[in-house]
Structure formats: C-alpha cells, structure tokens
Amino acid sequence: MIRVIGLSVFYIAVGLFLFGFVDLNTFLPKRAISGAKGAGFAVVELFTSEGCSSCPPADEVLERLQKEIGDQPIYLLAYHVDYWDRLGWKDTFSSSAYSDRQGEYGRWFNLSTIYTPQVVVNGQEEFVGTDESRIRKSILAQLVVKPSAILRLEHQKDDTGVKVTYHAEGTIKNTSLLIAIVQKSGHSNVVRGENAGRGLSHVQIVRSIQIVNLNATGIGNTSIKLPKDLDGQQWEVLGLIQDKSNGKILGAAKVIASDK
C-alpha cells in the first residue's frame, strides 16, 4: 500500500506532468467566453478524426465552447479529415475536401507537416486542438478586433439541397467565400483503429463545403446538395470570407437551418 499525504501529492502531480502523463491544461483556470464583449468575431476550425486517439479530447473542448458561446459571433467548425481512414477505421464524417483545406493552411502557415488535432483561429494562428486555454485566449483577442468585411447570409431549402444567398461588404478584393453545412451534433461507435470500442460524440461537424470567388459586388447565390442523413438533424449554414493570399478570415456569418 502506498500512502501519500501533504506535499507529496503536489510533487507527484508535477512529476506526472513532466513525464507527459498529465496535461497541464487540466489544472489551469479556463478563461470564460460567455458574455465577452467586442465588435469582432472568432472562427475556430478544428481538424480532427475518429481514427485519431488524440482527437476526442479536442472534440470535447469544442463541445464545451459550443455550450458556452450562445449567440456570440463565435463560429465553430470541425473538419473530419480522411488521411486517417486507411489506418483501420473510416471516419463517418470524413472527406478529402477537409484534408485539402487543412493542407492549404499548412501552406499558408509554412508548416512542414499537418496533424490532428489542429485548431486554426481566424486563419491567423494555429496550435494543438487540445490547448483549451490558448484557444480561449485567442477567441477573446479576436472578439475585440473590428472585422474588415461584413457578411450576410440567407437560405432557402428544397427537396435536394439549400440555396444560399450571400452579400459581402468591405475588404473583399482577392477573397473567397467558404460556405459550410454544419451539423450541430453526432455520435459514432468506433469498432476499429486507435479508438476501437469507444462511442465518440461530435459537435459542429462540417458535412459539406463550397468555395466561391467573390466578385466586385460581393453579391450572389449558390446551391448546395445536402447529405441525405442530415434529415432530422440540427444544422446551420456558415460562411467565411477569406483572403486568398494568406488565409486570414476577414468576416463570417451563419444562419440556422434546422430540420429538427
């Protein structure tokens, strides 16, 4: 039997951290997002996979943020990349398009490799998706920065998809508009790969993306086919105005388009 009292607990905690058994974020206070004020916005893009054993904690960070943000201008997206699919488990929500988007960020940030879980905030900084304290700090910093572009979205759903009308103003030269269909939540029972035997919960799942080059007026519309299994789910349409030269996100908006 091992008996631990007094300062021994502290020394063991420090030792576990130093040897990589405990994430220091577990002990750090979380900076509150709820009620934060400012004229800006924050876009948090998580690159994740059901085949990655390091990803569920990052998914949980995103879930905590989703519960906290309310109607604040904070936009959350979880892209399930497909390069883990060949390692034993095909992610239910994966797409090569999401891996391509992460690869584009890799080029913008001049990274030697891409990885999961990775978070990108407003296209301006990237870090490990489990670093919750840094994610929160970055969100709060972006909320006080006035956006250089304004985006408005409208949608009209039909039997096969959704027609999205957009109106962008401000700094829109050399920009593109990414429109994402985002499922609010989902669940998968993983039977192979690094997460075999686990039930994984997800939030803000990107189900489809379409990229449009904005013209001088910033006004237009596009039609997006919806996944059949989106019926009966809560979902939203999210738009991001992005500088094509450096990846910086200049404006964002969303509309709720729930079937539930």
In a domain, 29, yes or no: no
Q: Which domain holds residue 188?
A: 34-256
Total domains, the chain: 1
In a domain, 164, yes or no: yes
In a domain, 252, yes or no: yes
Q: Assign residue 236 the CATH number of its domain.
A: 3.40.30.10
In a domain, 195, yes or no: yes
In a domain, 4, yes or no: no
Cα–Cα distances (Å) from 22 to 113, 155, 186, 245, in that order, read: 25, 45, 28, 39
In a domain, 18, yes or no: no
CA–CA distance, 75 with 32 (Å, rounded to integer): 16
**Contact present, 226 and 146 (Cβ < 8 Å):** no
Which has the closest alpha carbon to 199: 208, 187, 185?
187
In a domain, 9, yes or no: no
Residue-level pLDDT, tens digit, the chain, 260 residues = 333 334 343 343 444 444 444 444 444 456 777 666 668 999 999 999 999 999 999 999 999 999 999 999 999 999 999 999 999 999 999 999 999 999 999 999 999 999 999 999 999 999 999 999 999 999 999 999 999 999 999 999 988 899 999 999 999 999 999 999 999 999 999 999 999 999 999 999 999 999 999 999 999 999 999 998 998 889 999 999 999 999 999 999 999 886 55
In a domain, 218, yes or no: yes
CA–CA distance, 138 with 124 (Å, rounded to integer): 10
